[in-house]
Amino acid sequence: MKGVIFAGGMGSRLKPFTNVVDKSILPVYDKPAIYFPVSSLVNAGIEDIVINTHNPEHIQAVLSGERFPANISYHTSKEPQNVAAVLHDMRGQIKDVPILTMLGDIYLPFQIEPPDGLDDCCIYVSTTYAPSRISEYGVAQLNQNNEVLTFDEKPKNPRGKYVHMGTTFFPADLTYTLGQMEAIKGKDLTDVANMYLNRGRLIAKVYDQQWFNVGTPEDLFLASCYRRQSKKSHCAVVILEDEHGQFLLYLRDNKPDIAFPNTWALIAGLVKEGETPEDAIRREAKEELKNRRDLSDYVLQELKFLFDYPRADMLRDEHVFHASLKTSIEDLISNEGQGLRIFDRETIIGLDNIAPHHREILLKYIMMQRTHH
């Protein structure tokens, strides 16, 4: 099986930027747009990918630092062509081979797979889109068994409600099917797919996740925001407070290679994959604190979520919890840092030697308590 990416469009909706560069190399936050369809095909198991473009050197340049486990080659179009014409021109590269195709401006932040059977054409459609913009896409009408009834390109009066995500699987007889078309020029992907529909060989894979076509400035911006958010790390923090309204902090190691060395800090840790923030902070407390008498894990008591604190200095959200400290500090030992100490509220307010973001978290909590009372 091969992969094909159509990246030879003019990008007219992204002018004046596309007067200078291809749409496919414009950034979606931290990666060029073309990175995402390539990644989707590679993650679907495709090891041989052909990119159709009129500027292959541009795409080669922006992908030069990536190490995709796939052979990437290029098919050059001298001028923009519709999908059917591109596939017809590529027939020597794709003859008798099933192909999974994507438009070069599609960003799918989830895993896709080839269809279970390789004999039918398959369109990848979504239920997630802005209803007011449905006429900007190919639109499929499906029955209760997800069988395709109609498939129209940018219909003014859509018969269906499933939007095409610019991703299509074609079986190995595609070049034969293209040869049966009366005229290739001006024919689009929907025209090719409808050749299979007329033979009862068009199926659909339905997804409900967020996805993006980055063909407009607004969509490029939204995709970048989504990408930025998805790249965020998450940290869980707990405010351990005793019955006197005092807080437990630990002194971080005095090592130059760690953040905020030799400063006081709250118990905190990164949220690992598959964990909730609550899972993470319970695990972190057990790892960092032990009961001195029997060295058993410290278990957080009366844990409750307080608020989220976005770190301005890092791409990270801190999920802040509160727990009651019912164990004397003399009965606790720390597995990390240089030691533990109890601080009252007045000392916290004037304390300079504390991790800045943890100081802000504690001050916010203190203000919340004052407002509540």
Where are the chain's structural domains? 2-230, 233-372
Model pLDDT for residues 165-182, shown as the tens digit of each residue: 999 999 999 989 888 887
CA-based nearest residue to 9, from 20, 27, 26, 24: 24
Phi, psi (deg, nearest 5) at residue 349: -60, -35
Residues 89-108, mean pLDDT to the nearest whole number: 92
Question: Within a 10 A sphere around the Cβ of 173, how many other Cβ atoms?
Answer: 17
Q: What is the pLDDT of residue 312?
A: 65
Q: What is the pLDDT of residue 295?
A: 79
Cα–Cα distance for residue pair 348/366, rounded to 1 Å: 10
Model pLDDT for residues 113-122, shown as the tens digit of each residue: 999 888 999 9
Q: What is the pLDDT of residue 187?
A: 83
Tell me which architecture the domain covering 233-372 has in CATH: Alpha-Beta Complex (3.90)
Question: Within a 10 A sphere around the Cβ of 95, how many other Cβ atoms?
Answer: 12
- Please determine, for residue 371, whether its predicted confidence score (pLDDT) is greater than 80: no
Q: What contacts 285, CB < 8 A, 6 or more positions away?
A: 238, 267, 297, 298, 299, 300, 323
With a pLDDT cut of 90, the percent of the chain lying above it is: 56
- Please determine, for residue 125, whether its predicted confidence score (pLDDT) is greater than 90: yes
Model pLDDT for residues 10-65, shown as the tens digit of each residue: 667 777 777 777 888 889 998 999 999 999 999 999 999 999 998 888 898 989 88
Model pLDDT for residues 14-29, shown as the tens digit of each residue: 777 777 778 888 899 9
Cα–Cα distance for residue pair 192/186, rounded to 1 Å: 11
Model pLDDT for residues 325-369, shown as the tens digit of each residue: 998 989 998 888 899 999 999 999 888 899 999 999 999 999 998
Q: What contacts 373, CB < 8 A, 6 or more positions away?
A: none
Q: What is the pLDDT of residue 314?
A: 63
Q: What is the pLDDT of residue 259?
A: 84
Distance of CA 340 to the CA centre of its chain: 39
Model pLDDT for residues 265-321, shown as the tens digit of each residue: 999 999 988 889 999 999 999 999 998 887 788 889 999 999 999 876 667 789 999
Domain 2-230 superfamily per CATH: Spore Coat Polysaccharide Biosynthesis Protein SpsA; Chain A (3.90.550.10)
Model pLDDT for residues 198-220, shown as the tens digit of each residue: 999 999 999 999 999 888 889 99
Taking a C-beta distance cutoff of 8 angstroms, is the pair 289, 267 a contact? yes
Q: What is the pLDDT of residue 313?
A: 63
Model pLDDT for residues 233-277, shown as the tens digit of each residue: 889 999 999 999 999 999 999 998 888 899 999 999 999 888 899
Taking a C-beta distance cutoff of 8 angstroms, is the pair 298, 332 a contact? yes
Taking a C-beta distance cutoff of 8 angstroms, is the pair 202, 178 a contact? no
Residues 100-108, mean pLDDT to the nearest whole number: 95
Radius of gyration of the chain (CA): 28
Q: What contacts 131, CB < 8 A, 6 or more positions away?
A: none
CA distances from 183 to 23, 85, 155, 188, 347 (A): 28, 9, 22, 11, 81
H/E element, 72 = strand 71-76
Q: What is the DSSP letter of 309?
A: E
